[in-house]
Amino acid sequence: MRVIVLFLCATFSLYASNLLTHNIYERSDRIDVMLSFDAPYEGRILQKKEGDMTILTLEDLYFNEFVERTINSSILQALTLEPVENSTAVLLKSNQDISVLASKTVDGFGLRIRARLSSTPVQAAPLVTTPLPSTQSQSIVDGRYMLVIGIMLFLLLVLFWVKRKVALASSKGKATWLFPQGSNTEALKVLYQKPLDAANKVVLLEFEKHQYLIVTGSSNLLLERFGEGRVRDDGEFKNVFEQNRQKLDEYLRIQQNQLSSYKEKASQDFTPTR
């Protein structure tokens, strides 16, 4: 039975906060006691007055030490922290009437206890701690930010889909140097290809039951057109390539002469600046 109770207490403590540190800040008109926790504090705070003691009970807050500090002030003379069952008691000793206000930080990881001199007695009533407006507004802003990001990602996906559809539709009816406007270029197949040099290669294409032997690269040239199934394997492609060797050599020679002529003309037209 004792093991079960200890297990339940350990499980319950996982959902509570622990007091980590405490600091005292003295001012001429007030005393601030700052408490920090290892998790956002969500428990209730009760306040009562007993003689010269103002006692704050922080429910669901764990602290395994007993701390007593002396304060040299006309507002407070001593501060005591002590564990009480599943709570922590904060005792403020003062020889005068004081008012005490407790307020959490925005993230809930801290609590400020402020003591001031008061002309009226402090009533023994529980302190109501409500979430600060900035905490709620911050969560709203975060939610709106994530919503905007989601909408932007959705719009990007829609734009990408539309662009792809338009590009696909335009490519189906796009005219090329070899095939007229309106040809279905999706039926185009590359059967064989052979490089001639670094800039040109011979390609055998099949399109709408016809085969085309072309040169592609620095410019495009149609060498020969065959019927369906004219070239069936790599050996027949080599034969066709050799049969068009003369045309290919003539084409490459013309390309080389044009390049040499362009280089010569470019060197003549260039006049160095001094």
Q: How confident is residue 3, by pLDDT bands cut at 50, 70 and 90?
A: very low
pLDDT at 122: 43
Other Cβ atoms within 10 Å of 47 Cβ, number? 20
Number of domains in the chain: 2
**74, 105, 136 - which closes a domain:** 136
**104, 136, 168 - which closes a domain:** 136
Which CATH number does the domain housing residue 100 bear? 2.60.40.3470
Q: pLDDT per residue over 39-79, tens digit each?
A: 899 889 999 999 899 999 999 998 989 999 999 888 999 99
DSSP the chain: -HHHHHHHHHHHHTTSEEEEEEEEEE-SS-EEEEEEESS-----EEEEEETTEEEEEEETEE----EEEE--SSS-SEEEEEEETTEEEEEEE-SS-EEEEEEE-TTSSEEEEEEEE-SSPPP---B-----HHHHHHHHHHHHHHHHHHHHHHHHHHHHHHHHHHHHHHHHT---SSS-TT--GGG-EEEEEEE-SSS-EEEEEEETTEEEEEEESSS-EEEEEEETTS--SHHHHHHHHHHTHHHHHHHHHHHHHHHHHHHHHHHHH-----
Percent share of the chain, pLDDT over 70 = 68
Asked if residue 105 lies in contact with residue 135, where contact means CB atoms within 8 angstroms, the answer is no
Q: Do 127 and 195 belong to one domain?
A: no
159 lies in a domain?
A: no
Q: Do 30 and 94 belong to one domain?
A: yes
**119, 136, 153 - which closes a domain:** 136
Q: Is the pLDDT of residue 139 over 80?
A: no
Asked if residue 16 lies in contact with residue 30, where contact means CB atoms within 8 angstroms, the answer is no
Can you give the pTM of this predicted structure? Answer: 0.40
Q: Do 57 and 131 belong to one domain?
A: yes
pLDDT at 217: 76
The boundaries of the domain holding residue 28 are 16-136
pLDDT at 24: 94
Q: pLDDT per residue over 89-136, tens digit each?
A: 999 999 989 999 999 998 889 999 999 998 644 444 444 444 444 444
Q: Do 81 and 23 belong to one domain?
A: yes
- First-to-final CA distance of the chain: 103
Q: How confident is residue 37, by pLDDT bands cut at 50, 70 and 90?
A: very high
